[in-house]
Amino acid sequence: MVGVPGRSKACSTCRKRRKGCDRRLPGCGQCEKVGLPCGGYARELVFVNSTKPSLSCKVATGALSEALVRSADEERYLGQFWSAYLPNGRALPSDATQDALEGWSNTIQALYPTDGVLRKTVLAMSVSSCGRDEGNIELKERGLRLYSSALQDMAVALRIPSKARSDAILTASKLFSLYEAMFGADDRNKVTQAKSWIVHNSGEISILAARGADQYIYGHAHRLFVDGRLHLTLSAIRARKKSILSNQEWKTIPWSYHKKTPKDLLLDVLVEMPRLMEESDILQSCDSPTQRDCCTKMLINDCWHFDKQLREWLENHAPKQILRTPDTESPTLIDTTDLGSAHIMTLYWSVCIILYSIMRSVMGTEARLPERGDIKAYCRNIIRTIPIFFHPAVGTFRAHLATFPMGLVMRNLDLFEPEERAVEQRLLESCCRTQGGAAIGKFLKSLELDTIEQKKLSNIKGFAL
């Protein structure tokens, strides 16, 4: 595949303005800088296929090959994917909004051309996304074949030390778990999706650990690490097992150069929750009254320590503006500042739910906690905020924002009286009926089924997610 000589590769807007174009997807940075809509690249590019006839024949018969990656369709699939995925179909702004949300989508676009495994993984997501949006079964199957091929290529890459520790491979591993959450639903075995997601998260943790905390101080590696802590911690919360992310070096070294954002500080508390859960479970099986009392006091002291950190965070770092819930029926643009604030606050309320649930479990259900320990209040706040994530302009990016708080609230609906629970449940179900909500609903159902299965195997009294 080669570009036709003499044909500009800039977007149509930059070509008309005779300006330099960085060819970023879904829209170029030059257009974003001056506030103009990017006209895209599709009509400005012509590709000729230089592959051998035998390879083209294989594609025609449906066999997976690199020909798909080296075709003009690639531009269309990528453009459609980023437009459907990103809030407002645009790259996230390089400001505090990006820190509150997740800036690694920009990292994907920067690293995409550098590695075959990552390129195939991104294309698998793009083709699968187009197939789902268009109701095209052939495209969905092609996306699945690309995904399966990317998994095979990853297995080979991980045996090469220089590739296994690259930013591109870490990015691909993150995308594998995202692919499962977005496209991994299996109607024949609903629990498979959750299990695959957990496996990929474990693989990502292994890649992180192999490189060491000092490899995530600068550049793309730092961005990938700070944006990956949330979903990796969710796996640890579900397993109720301490994660390496709560070790001191992983909470300090990656920020040797960068200052921690409010979201970083909040996640510093969240990464400790799996450890508290594990200690709570150990406490339940302790036979020695003396040891049990000692461990209980230590655990309660830890809980009050994190309670203090959360109060300080709320006072010093919580968004100051009032959250405005937009009209979810309107397809107009969403304010990314509102979106970032909603994400930060639902994350804060979720951490509170987990912490005070642990405290009630350790101290007893009759324990008198301060008013801020009201778990139902945090659930109500989340339920009334998450409609922001289902605004049409948010795109499939909502999977990063809505899945954790929604799943957590669903696990705690039993705290409400029947009539009130019915109201809260209807509000949640209305989100799942929106465009994009069905996929999240299926994923949460798969996680619930896996939780039930693991609960039977381990005899653990309860899960937070």
Angstrom distance (rounded) from CA 207 to CA 220:
15
Q: What is the mean pLDDT of residues 317-332?
A: 69
What one-character-per-residue DSSP string does 141-173 give? HHHHHHHHHHHHHHHHHTTSHHHHTSHHHHHHH
The mean pLDDT of the chain is 83
Cis peptide before 26 (omega within 30 of 0): yes
Range in 328-337, 343-352, 405-414 the model is least confident about = 328-337
Q: Which CATH number fits domain 1-48: 4.10.240.10, 1.10.3730.10, 1.10.490.130, 1.10.1470.10?
A: 4.10.240.10
In the structure, what pLDDT confidence band is assigned to residue 18 with cuts at 50, 70 and 90? low
Is 289 in a helix, a strand, or coil? Answer: helix
Range 222-250 average pLDDT? 93
**pLDDT at residue 13 is higher than 90:** no
Note whether 304 and 366 are within 8 A (CB): no
3-class state of residue 351 by DSSP: helix
SS3 letters for 10-25? CCHHHHHHCCCCCCCC
pLDDT, position 322: 60
Parts of the chain belonging to CATH 4.10.240.10: 1-48
Quote the CA–CA distance of 55 and 118 in Å, as a whole number.
22
Two tokens, residue 169:
């491979």
pTM reported for the whole predicted model:
0.82
Phi–psi pair at 144, nearest 5 degrees: -65, -40
Render pLDDT for 163-183 as a digit per residue (tens, 0 to 9).
Answer: 999 999 999 999 999 999 999
Q: Which residues contact 121 (CB under 8 A, 6 or more apart)?
A: 147, 150, 172, 175, 176, 179
| CA 308 – CA 423 distance, rounded (Å) | 32
Encode pLDDT of 194-217 as tens digits: 999 999 999 999 999 999 999 999
Report how far residue 151's alpha carbon sits from residue 144's, in angstroms, rounded to the nearest whole number. Answer: 11
* Arithmetic mean of pLDDT, 109-119: 91
Structure confidence by residue, pLDDT tens digits, 260-276: 999 999 999 999 999 99
